[in-house]
Structure 1
Amino acid sequence: MKSMLIISRQAPWSGPGAREALDIALAGGAFDLPLGMLFLDDGVFQLVARQQPAALQQKDLTANLQALPLFGVECLYASARSLQERGLHGTELNLAVEVLDDGALTALIDRYDQVLTL
């Protein structure tokens, strides 16, 4: 069975990409596919706790994010550079992720058979 890495690059309020990435991860996890999820660029904003999506007439993704490990999606990663560039710290995140530097990100991507970027 081939492994898949889903790279989520969109902020939760900037369009359907963030929700679609989560939906794919949850569906794949439900079928026991070996997959991981990487939050990169503005995608790291999905990890910020206490968001108020209703102010932007958006749906809250927090429940979907927290369901990932329940669906077997336990390999969760975030880019250290993306977090740093956006002024975010590990204490502000609502999901346990492994924070990786650029070199580790390259190695991570190379480990997966397929990579899907949204």
Structure 2
Amino acid sequence: MPRSMLIITRQSPWSGPSAREALDIALAGGAFELPLGMLFLDDGVFQLVQAQQAGQLQQKDLTANLQALPMFGVDSLYAAQRSLQERGLDQNALSLPVEVLDDTALRALINRYDQVITL
């Protein structure tokens, strides 16, 4: 029986390779039908903002990778309510549908998974 995995991505898409690495792990796990979820926390919620202009920072746009998550079976996508609020982001303006969780629900989510990777 495959073990479940939660990938917590905490970095903005332009702050270094961590955001891309988290997406690569999720896509690879999805390709192998590993039960997994992805949580966007802290500055990681910036990955969900539409119309990223990564080229201005000489970074690759992650939007296509994010849009591919459901095609790879990664349907369990979550965002921290507090992170969205602190950064002035509206759930309805995000590039992907995510389940927004408060602090209590975040703890319960993390406890549901066998393995947790934070990037």
Using structure 1 for the length normalisation, give the TM-score. Answer: 0.99
Please list every run of at least 4 consecutive aligned residues from structure 1 whose deviation after the TM superposition is greater than 3 angstroms.
Answer: none
Q: AA paired with 1:81?
A: R
Distance in 2, Cα, partners of 1:79 & 1:70 = 23
Residue aligning to 1:27 = 28
Q: AA paired with 1:103?
A: T
Distance in 2, Cα, partners of 1:3 & 1:91 = 28
1:91 deviates by 2.1
Deviation string, structure 1 residues 36-72 (Cα, Å, up to 9, x no partner): 0000000000000011000100000000000000000
1:92 deviates by 1.8
Residue aligning to 2:39 = 38
Q: AA paired with 2:48?
A: L
Residue aligning to 1:111 = 112
Residue aligning to 2:84 = 83
1:90 deviates by 1.2
1:88 deviates by 0.3
5 Å-filtered alignment, 1:50-69, equals: 50-69=51-70
Distance in 2, Cα, partners of 1:17 & 1:83 = 19
Distance in 1, Cα, partners of 2:43 & 2:8 = 11
Deviation string, structure 1 residues 2-42 (Cα, Å, up to 9, x no partner): 10000000000000000000000000000000000000000
Question: Structure 1 vs Structure 2: percent identity of aligned residues?
Answer: 78
Ranges in structure 2 where 5+ consecutive residues have no aligned partner: none
Using structure 2 for the length normalisation, give the TM-score. Answer: 0.98
Distance in 2, Cα, partners of 1:72 & 1:51 = 24
